[in-house]
């Protein structure tokens, strides 16, 4: 395997950075995004992904119990297998930005004008809410540092709208957390106006300051040998009785449903390093930088997503992991200080590091999601205004859209509910793009590939796409009744936007840049009925897994 991967990198000579692919047309022009980034810059740009473990580690532990640390290891392992497919399909389109969904949409376009934009939309809708979630948790830490828990300011809010028809208890409101989070969003927004290279430099500083403590937390229990087996085993799901008392259950229908719910939530964090391929059009050498960026990001995520959940579970134990403050993120910094054995000074340092790590993942999210919107506009999926960039190559129109969307999300009373709904969209994108790997391999078999995924991994990743849909079908409603339904509805919101762009703005004709490479190389629909068969099978997996699930309270 190692030799095959190594030989794949050698093919980077096929696409030198200055080589035109479309006659006299370069793969990027000065009018769009600028080629000023290498794989190390993309690595730092994606370095906020590991911080996602801090947003969901408590919720997953409160769902499945002691097996949560195993769920994290299995989930990041799945993410690494999938990365090989993303590396291949990203290399096919050195002229495109926006991430794996854009490259996958090109595979689906000959078969369905609707599935292609749905893939791109679902990817953006999964990434963008990270801005609201990360800044809100950071704002909560600021409030906790400034005010006592019983201070009146913590309870102040202006109620705007009840959304109980969407989810029980959900509403729109303004409070001090949403106001402080909005300020964080604005800071992040302006930091990215100077293009990807400058933003990546800022990311590097934030990453070194915030991920170092995270890595320390993961290593301390291993170095000291403080890994009590009673906190890690038995690997049985946690159940609650009518009074709320917890105990070990069994791997029956309910236990397996909880496992599916845990894997569903973990996927949102662990699969996210695919954002490293969002910058293909901004790479100085796309053929060389694209695979290096995603594999380097995957290696970092493998370390963090393995060590940190293991450290939390082994050092704190199940009872401490069920603390509501771990679940909502507000007590994570204190838990980190306890793991490394520090006092108040260390605790304050951990709070500062956690706030920086949250800003890091927010920066990562805005950089990736804005480029997805930008490329979706270039390719004719979303309104034309989103393709505007400033003179430094930053997609400012898309960034403004991200900003306004998340300022609205900050009004929601339950950010985690929004996140789980968006995660349904993420796994839809995940499925479509993993199938895009073999569709590209069949339809574009003669295209030169800077990186070629080993065929066994391509097949395995395709199968994992169906496994992820099973996680979604059975596990989404573990996070609240109607989560699956609301996520499926959200995935279709692109349809009117796409119809407006394609039929009203473009008169039913795709922009010339959208399929320029396909026209230059020539592409035939060699996959035949297989893509449609995959969609039928996907619908069946979702239906069956949801039908046989048994979520708590269901």
- pLDDT computed for residue 25 by the predictor: 34
**In this structure, is residue 255 part of a structural domain?**
yes
- pLDDT computed for residue 2 by the predictor: 43
Mean pLDDT of 488-517: 87
Question: What 3-state class would DSSP assign to 239?
Answer: strand
Measured CA to CA, the distance from residue 75 to residue 53 in angstroms comes to: 12
Residue 166 confidence (pLDDT) above 90? no
Burial label, 149 (beta-carbon count in 10 A; 0-12, 13-18, 19+): exposed
Burial string for 332-367 (b: 16+ CB within 10 Å, else e) reads bbbbbbbbbeeeeebbebbbbbbbbbbbbbbbbbbb
pLDDT digits (tens, 9 = 90+) for 109-158: 999 989 999 999 999 999 899 999 889 988 988 888 888 888 999 899 99
| Percent of the chain scoring above 90 in pLDDT | 55
At CA 479, angle to CA 328 and CA 115, rounded to 5?
115
Residue 17 confidence (pLDDT) above 50? no
**In this structure, is residue 18 part of a structural domain?**
no
Mean pLDDT of 165-193: 89
The most confident of the ranges 210-214, 233-237, 393-397 is: 233-237
Mean pLDDT of 468-490: 96
| Residue 397 main-chain phi, psi, to 5 deg | -65, -40
Measured CA to CA, the distance from residue 409 to residue 376 in angstroms comes to: 22
Domain that holds residue 145: 48-514+523-548
Measured CA to CA, the distance from residue 37 to residue 430 in angstroms comes to: 26
Measured CA to CA, the distance from residue 269 to residue 73 in angstroms comes to: 12
Mean pLDDT of 272-285: 85
Mean pLDDT of 412-416: 85
**In this structure, is residue 264 part of a structural domain?**
yes
Give, as one character, the DSSP assignment of residue 248. Answer: E
- pLDDT computed for residue 96 by the predictor: 81
pLDDT band at 554; cut points 50, 70, 90: low
**In this structure, is residue 33 part of a structural domain?**
no
Burial label, 264 (beta-carbon count in 10 A; 0-12, 13-18, 19+): buried
- 26-40, 96-110, 333-347, 425-439: range with lowest mean pLDDT: 26-40
Mean pLDDT of the chain: 87
**In this structure, is residue 120 part of a structural domain?**
yes
Residue 78 confidence (pLDDT) above 70? yes
Residue 97 confidence (pLDDT) above 50? yes
**In this structure, is residue 42 part of a structural domain?**
no
Measured CA to CA, the distance from residue 120 to residue 509 in angstroms comes to: 19
Pairs from 17-23 (Cβ < 8 Å, separation ≥ 24): 17/283, 17/284, 17/285, 17/286, 21/94, 21/95, 21/517, 21/520, 22/95, 22/516, 22/517, 22/520, 23/520
pLDDT digits (tens, 9 = 90+) for 50-69: 988 988 999 999 999 999 99
pLDDT band at 83; cut points 50, 70, 90: very high
Residue (of 208, 195, 203, 52) closest to 127 by Cα position? 52
**In this structure, is residue 9 part of a structural domain?**
no
- pLDDT computed for residue 519 by the predictor: 53
What CATH number is attached to the domain comprising 70?
A: 1.20.1740.10
Measured CA to CA, the distance from residue 171 to residue 159 in angstroms comes to: 8
- pLDDT computed for residue 431 by the predictor: 98
- pLDDT computed for residue 426 by the predictor: 97
**In this structure, is residue 145 part of a structural domain?**
yes
In total, how many domains does the chain have? Answer: 1
């Amino acid at each position: 395997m190692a030799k095959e991967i190594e030989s794949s990198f050698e093919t980077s000579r096929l696409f030198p950075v200055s080589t035109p692919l479309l006659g006299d047309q370069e793969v990027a022009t000065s009018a769009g995004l600028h080629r000023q980034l290498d794989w190390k810059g993309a690595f730092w740009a994606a370095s906020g992904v590991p911080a996602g473990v801090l947003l969901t580690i408590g919720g997953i532990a409160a769902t499945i119990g002691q097996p949560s640390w195993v769920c994290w290891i299995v989930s990041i392992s799945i993410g690494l297998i999938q990365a090989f497919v993303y590396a291949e399909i990203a290399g096919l389109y050195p002229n495109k930005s926006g991430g794996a969904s854009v490259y996958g949409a090109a595979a689906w376009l000959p078969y369905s004008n609707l599935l292609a934009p749905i893939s791109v939309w679902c990817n953006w809708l999964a990434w963008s809410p990270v801005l609201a979630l990360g800044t809100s948790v950071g704002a909560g830490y600021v409030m906790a540092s400034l005010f006592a828990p019983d201070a009146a300011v913590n309870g102040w809010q202006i109620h705007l709208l009840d959304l109980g028809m969407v989810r029980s208890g959900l509403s729109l409101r303004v409070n001090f957390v949403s106001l402080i989070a909005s300020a964080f969003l604005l800071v992040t927004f302006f930091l990215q106006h100077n293009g990807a290279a400058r933003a990546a430099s800022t990311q590097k500083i934030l990453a070194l300051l915030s991920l170092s403590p995270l890595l320390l937390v993961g290593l301390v229990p291993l170095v000291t040998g403080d890994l009590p087996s009673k906190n890690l085993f038995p690997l049985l799901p946690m159940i609650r009785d009518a009074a709320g008392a917890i105990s070990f259950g069994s791997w029956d229908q309910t236990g397996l449903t909880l496992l599916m719910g845990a894997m569903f939530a973990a996927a949102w964090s662990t699969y996210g390093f695919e954002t490293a391929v969002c910058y293909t059009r901004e790479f100085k050498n796309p053929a060389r930088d694209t695979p290096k960026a995603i594999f380097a990001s995957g290696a970092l995520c493998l370390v963090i997503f393995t060590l940190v959940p293991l450290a939390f579970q082994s050092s704190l134990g199940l009872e401490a992991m069920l603390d509501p403050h771990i679940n909502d993120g507000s007590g994570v910094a204190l838990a980190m200080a306890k793991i490394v054995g520090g006092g108040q000074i260390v605790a304050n340092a951990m709070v500062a590091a956690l706030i920086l790590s949250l800003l890091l993942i927010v920066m990562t999210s805005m950089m990736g999601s804005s480029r997805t919107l930008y490329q979706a506009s270039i390719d004719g999926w979303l309104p034309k205004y989103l393709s505007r960039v400033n003179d430094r190559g930053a997609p400012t129109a898309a960034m403004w859209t991200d900003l306004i969307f998340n300022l609205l999300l900050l009004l929601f009373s339950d950010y985690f509910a929004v996140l789980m709904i968006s995660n349904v969209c993420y796994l839809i994108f995940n499925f479509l793009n993993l199938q895009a790997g073999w569709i590209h391999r069949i339809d574009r078999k003669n295209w030169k590939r800077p990186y070629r995924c080993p065929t066994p991994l391509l097949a395995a990743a395709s199968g994992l796409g169906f496994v992820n849909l099973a996680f979604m079908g059975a596990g989404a409603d573990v996070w609240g009744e109607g989560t699956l339904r609301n996520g499926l509805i959200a995935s279709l919101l692109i349809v009117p936007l796409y119809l407006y762009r394609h039929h009203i703005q473009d008169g039913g004709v795709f922009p010339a840049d959208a399929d320029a490479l396909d026209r230059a190389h020539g592409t035939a629909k060699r996959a035949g009925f297989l893509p449609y068969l995959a969609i039928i099978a996907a619908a069946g997996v979702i239906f069956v897994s949801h039908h046989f699930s048994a979520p708590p309270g269901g």
